[in-house]
Amino acid sequence: MNQIERKYLDYLAKQRQCSPLTVCNYQRDLDGFFSFIFAHNETIEGVNHETMRSYLEGEMKRGVSKRSCQRKLAAIRGFYRYCVDHSLLKNNPLVGFHNPKSEKRLPDVLTDEQIEVLFSANDRREDELAIRDSAILELMFSSGMRASEIVALKKNDIDYSSRMIRVNGKGKKMRLAPFSKRASEKMKRYYEELRPKLMKRYKKGPILIAFFLSKNGNPLSVRDLEFILRNIENKTGVYFGIHPHEFRHSFATSLLDGGADLRLIQELLGHESLDTTQIYTHVSKKQMKKQYDDFFPRQDNNK
């Protein structure tokens, strides 16, 4: 790792307060880029548009998707922007360089029927952690919160009277996230009946403020949340390949199908740009086409 890169990664961790995983991803992308330019006898200062085109073409020939190339390019852009802003370099060689267009991927969503099957099966569980898992499922689906926001949730963030949660989202952007009556009931039951038991198992320090805890009383990580969802499938026997972000997608799509305004959904999800929210209109159209094909009587049977 060169000295400038080290300063940039330190800036991401300490000033931007990026997660260790994000910093690690940036380092991996930058290391790959620097290996390329140094192998071609170029310097960080000598990079130009032709260098970038050559690098990205090489990545795509290796089978790297356009979407991943966009992520790599974002890391490199951030690095050069930092260098210019902090007077480490005079010019940003990426000014005017355009991102490769990525193929649009529609997010996976759970149907209303799948949600009902999964939640009902989970409600039939009798093991100790069933109460916590029900609260997590109901909250994720009814609020659209990110996995990182779920695990960072604290009791003081929750207002049961208005059914609103104060969420500290991406980029430290604060928003309010509503949640359903069913989620409220499950969360209260978990907090009163199970959480005190889990807290007693925590042996590592002061009293915890995290709302959701592991079976050992530890605060949850995003990986823990992913493991909990896989475990829910194993315990219920309902396998939809669920992932935290899938509930967020399902939340947005359900609202859109129900007639909610796109800008409201943008606000609820905490998206900075409406373009990010726009992808759910494609999902909704896909659902509309499927239902049309399923229910319209005069279909061509000779396909």
For the CA atoms of 170, 175, 181, 184, the dihedral, rounded to the nearest 10 degrees, stands at 60
For the CA atoms of 260, 263, 266, 270, the dihedral, rounded to the nearest 10 degrees, stands at -120
Catalytic residue check, 271: yes
Catalytic residue check, 223: no
Structural element, H or E, at residue 168? strand 164-168
Strand bridging mode 164-168 / 174-178: antiparallel
Active-site hit among 132, 146, 186, 249: 146
Catalytic residue check, 86: no
Chain CA centroid to CA 297, Å: 40
Chain CA centroid to CA 222, Å: 10
The 10 Å Cβ neighbour count of residue 269 is: 22
Query: 133 has which bridge partners?
Result: none
Active-site hit among 155, 170, 173, 201: 170
Alpha carbon distance 36, 30 (integer Å): 10
Catalytic residue check, 280: yes
Catalytic residue check, 170: yes
Active-site hit among 72, 195, 248, 249: 248
Which residues participate in catalysis according to the annotation? 146, 170, 245, 248, 271, 280
